[in-house]
Amino acid sequence: MAIINAQLTDIPLDILDPDGNVAAPFTGGVPQGKSYAITNILVCNVSNSDNAQFTMHLIPYGDALDLSVTTVVRNLELPPGETFTFDSERIILDEGDKITFVATPASGGLTTLAATVSYLEV
């Protein structure tokens, strides 16, 4: 099992490849020749005083982020110190598939939301 951690931003963040290190054409998603079983997604508002919100997308390889099609969590507001857990369903992602977050409010592009994705390579 592996985990990926990232601080969410106010622009789309592909959390499986937050630094863009996965080789093209799969940049941002699951690397070539791999499949991931997502076991858990956690989002924590680390602020002591401010609410924050996020939208999460599951995007198949070759598709674009589309609010009408790829959204699985939309504008979920988290009070200070609260954590959202997405763990009741297992998600299987193939090469190039992405989990993308967009969050608010931001200061210099970064938000007070920390996300963790736990996965197994299958």
* Structural tokens at position 14: 């592909």
For 91-114, give the DSSP string.
EEEETT-EEEEEEES-BTTEEEEE
Number of domains in the chain: 1
- pLDDT given at position 107: 87
Share of the chain above pLDDT 70, in %: 100
The yes-or-no verdict on residue 41 having pLDDT over 90 is yes
Which carries the bigger pLDDT value, residue 107 or residue 73?
A: 73
23 close to 70: Cβ distance less than 8 angstroms: no
Mean pLDDT of 27-53: 97
35 close to 95: Cβ distance less than 8 angstroms: yes
Q: Which domain holds residue 65?
A: 2-121
H/E run at residue 90:
none
Smallest Cα–Cα separation from 58: which of 36, 77, 80?
36
CATH number for the domain harbouring residue 61: 2.60.120
The yes-or-no verdict on residue 113 having pLDDT over 90 is yes
Helix, strand, coil content of the chain in percent (nearest 5): 0, 55, 45
Mean pLDDT of 69-98: 96
Mean pLDDT of 22-43: 97
5 close to 19: Cβ distance less than 8 angstroms: no
The yes-or-no verdict on residue 1 having pLDDT over 80 is no
Cα 98–Cα 36–Cα 93 angle in degrees, nearest 5: 45
113 close to 52: Cβ distance less than 8 angstroms: yes
- pLDDT given at position 97: 98
* Structural tokens at position 110: 């970064």
Q: What is the mean pLDDT of the chain?
A: 96
- pLDDT given at position 89: 82
